Amino acid sequence: MRFLIPAFCLLLLSGCGGGGGQEPPRASRSDAARPVEVSYPKFGDADPHPWDGRVPSSYAVHGLDVSRWQKGIDWRTARNAGVSFVFIKATEGVEELDPMFSEHWAAAGRAGVPRAAYHFYYFCAAADDQARWFIRNVPRVPGGLPHVLDMEWNHHSPTCQKRPDGAIVRAEADRFLDMLEAHYGQRPIVYTSVDFWEDTGIGQLRGTRFWLRSVADHPRARYPGAGWDFWQYTGTGLVPGVPGKVDINVFRGSVQSWKNYPG
């Protein structure tokens, strides 16, 4: 995951989702079908890890996460090479919108790549305000993937060095997830890193799907006993259609389970 700079609320394929009174869309099973152009893709890596045990290539469904650091992506080429989903950075805190969000969101949608947006949590702002900022900037798309709350320590933040204890972190996460679930009709996924998981007990959140970062070992070694849906296994991936290096992730389930995800 990367950090971002301010921008502006954008109307995209379905418009901004801030309107009041409207019921959030509920994806039917047919709406939620996910295409898999290539299963078990073999992507490159600029800094490959010598995996032990189960390797990332043994998973059938792979995808990306992107932000302002990725530009000029040919999404159709990426999809045809085996990119089956993408998580796109949208917001951070209460005033920052990734400057590439609108372009990535629209282009991935045109190419038929299933997508969701993610919010990088800022520990010096209220959960309610951050949820409202995300809702203001990310459209509701029927049948879309669940959006993502990215919770990790930001060691490089020039404005916020707060590290709340685990109980506070979990309460703030629950509030953010509740607000997005009420608006979008799906409970978001939580993305996190090994140190944050260990420091805060974020894995104790009930009814929560997780996306785990582990670039040096399988999640079962770094997050013992954890359930997860997605695994970010490299930040130096090389994917056709994507200039430069990019994060690559796998979905834990089969091609068939992916077609109906989240079920």
* Catalytic option among 92, 96, 103, 152: 152
Active site residue 74: no
Which of left, alpha, beta for 152 (phi over 0: left; psi -120 to 50: alpha)?
beta
CA distances from 174 to 129, 185, 200, 208 (A): 14, 15, 13, 9
Active site residue 23: no
Task: Map tokens 């992730």 to a residue.
Answer: 249
The span from the CA of 95 to the CA of 119, in Å, is 11
Query: Which burial class, exposed, middle or buried, applies to 262 when counting CB atoms under 10 A from its CB (0-12, 13-18, 19+)?
Result: middle
Query: Which burial class, exposed, middle or buried, applies to 188 when counting CB atoms under 10 A from its CB (0-12, 13-18, 19+)?
Result: buried
* DSSP at 92: E
CA distances from 6 to 72, 92, 99 (A): 20, 9, 7
**Main-chain dihedrals φ then ψ at residue 209, nearest 5 degrees:** -90, 140
68: which residues sit within 8 A by CB, 6+ positions away?
A: 2, 4, 5, 89, 98, 99, 100
Give the residue numbers marked as catalytic. 65, 152
